[in-house]
């Protein structure tokens, strides 16, 4: 493997450990819950889930789990203080 490729691999590993380098603008994700699958959408600073609990409370176990997974990759306004 040539040295420039090795350098890119090492840089990618370092970047992957520095999650604060990445922020999302929008995405759609499927969450496989215990009872059903749910659709999570992030757009314009808002995170939403298709589950019934989210509709009534603006948060749910699926959205909180995704926020933990993405840590600092979502802007602060998308992460409610729960």
Question: What's the token pair of residue 23?
Answer: 């922020």
Q: How far, in Å, CA of 13 to CA of 41, rounded?
A: 28
Q: Which pLDDT score is estimated for 75?
A: 74
pLDDT digits (tens, 9 = 90+) for 60-82: 999 999 988 887 788 766 655 44
pLDDT digits (tens, 9 = 90+) for 17-45: 988 888 888 999 999 989 899 999 999 88
Distances (CA, A) of 71 to 5, 8, 34, 37, 68: 29, 24, 22, 22, 5
Torsion of CA 70, 73, 78, 82, to 10 degrees: 50
Tokens 């499927």 identify what position? Answer: 30
């Amino acid at each position: 493997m040539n040295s420039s490729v090795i350098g890119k691999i090492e840089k990618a590993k370092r970047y992957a450990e520095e999650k604060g380098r990445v922020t999302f603008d929008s995405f759609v994700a499927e969450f496989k819950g215990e009872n059903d699958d749910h659709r999570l959408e992030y757009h314009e600073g808002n995170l939403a889930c298709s589950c019934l609990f989210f509709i009534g409370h603006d948060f749910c176990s699926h959205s909180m789990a995704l926020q933990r997974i993405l840590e600092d990759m979502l802007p602060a306004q998308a992460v409610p203080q729960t």
